Structure 1
Amino acid sequence: MQRLRIDQDIKPLSEVRTGIASFIKQVHDTKRPVVITQHGKGVAVLLDVNEYESMQEKMELLTDIQTSINQIDNGEGVEHDEAKEMIMQRIFE
């Protein structure tokens, strides 16, 4: 996802309401989100669907990594050589 440009990518709800198609095109073309404000405060973000899916995949991966780190910290990990042996046994069974 491209970095947000404050002067271009923060829009009031009233402006988005009247020109939603142009904002959808902007998000699609620039790959940048549009922050929608109401009464001067951010209330929603308009994202390209591919960018959203990419973010979801990254969050899932980071969650898996954190789970793995916690397991290792709790002594639930498997040493490299032991893991390799387990995999090799499964391949050749």
Structure 2
Amino acid sequence: MRVELVTTLKRQATKILSELHSSKEPVLITEHGQPSAYLVDVDDYEFMQKRMQILESLAKGEQAISRGETISNVEAKDKMNKWLK
């Protein structure tokens, strides 16, 4: 992973962004020698957000199953049909 100082980002933002878009490699921005932020490509960020939503939904589903909060396939289809109308 590439690491850049915040001052370098200020001076060379266009160059760093161009390289980020072509390499798709995140850039760790540091301030006073400490990690401060990650700079990531927009498409990669949106993909990560969608993946996180899917994983959170799966976790919620697994928790519901473990609590016995399930319905039959027929009930699910009926609910979906009502919801989609």
Q: TM-score range by the shorter chain?
A: 0.7 to 0.9
Partner of 2:4: 11
Unpaired segments of 5 or more residues in structure 1?
none
Partner of 2:54: 61
Amino acid at match of 2:30: T
Moved over 2 A (4+): 85-88
Partner of 1:20: 13
> Aligned partners of 1:26 and 1:77: how far apart in 2?
48
Q: TM-score, normalised by structure 2?
A: 0.83
Partner of 2:24: 31
- Aligned positions of 1:45-56 closer than 5 A: 45-56=38-49
RMSD of aligned residue pairs (Cα, Å) = 1.4
Count of aligned pairs between the two proteins: 78
Q: TM-score, normalised by structure 1?
A: 0.77
Unpaired segments of 5 or more residues in structure 2?
none
